[in-house]
Amino acid sequence: PNVNLKHLDLSFNAFDALPICKEFGNMSQLKFLGLSTTHLEKSTVLPIAHLNISKVLLVLGEHYGDKEDPEGLQNFNTESLHIVFPTSKEFNFILDVSVRTVANLELSNIKCVLEDNECSYFLNILAKLQTNPKLSSLTLNNIETTWNSFIRILQLVWHTTVRYFSISNVKLQGQLDFRDFDYSGTSLKALSVHQVVSDVFNFPQRDIYEIF
């Protein structure tokens, strides 16, 4: 490959494994890298672990999650990481997204609507973000969940190091029963929520006002 490349985008392709070979390690000028895979392993990232890449886009295929390595992201060395999860699956992944070098994290396609799950897998992933003091910006795109889980997501991020939190394209269902939001101890400077659709038409506004 051309070692002078600064932008390489292989995302949104049907790769079973990460399309990374040892020659990628020679791309010292690389600033953007787009990748796709249905099977992510920590060891496959080793050839580029020494590169300081400004932004990595990782698209996980529709069959991702059948055999998952929770540490699959930990060899990436990047300041900005965007992960696109499968669109049609309930979120039951255990991938650790708290990469130590990442200051800007973006997660797309979060679907957790099963009541017995209560979005626990995604909440567990967010909880691990507290281990990364460098993280300052978090963006969530394309979320489908319940009102209660949505507020739990807000509450959890509230107590991380995140300063800028943006949420867009949200579809909410069910009633809101969550109460006693804890506003103490936050680093947040800006919170933006865009394009929210609720499937509940009879919704007491006071329930929202009690949170916000």
What domains does the chain contain, in order, with CATH numbers?
A: 7-209 (3.80.10.10)
- The Cα–Cα gap between 210 and 212 comes to 6
- Beta strand 53-60 with 32-37 is parallel
- The Cα–Cα gap between 178 and 162 comes to 22
Confidence of residue 2 (pLDDT cuts 50, 70, 90): low
Q: 43: burial class by Cβ within 10 Å (0-12, 13-18, 19+)? A: exposed
User: pTM of the entire structure?
Assistant: 0.92
pLDDT higher than 80, residue 197: yes
Residue with tokens 């190091």: 161
SS3 annotation, 72-125: CCCCCCEEEEEEECCCCCCCCCCCCCCCCCCCEEEEEEEEECCCCCCCHHHHHH
Segment 128-146, tens digit of pLDDT: 999 999 999 999 999 999 9
- Residue 126: per-residue pLDDT: 95
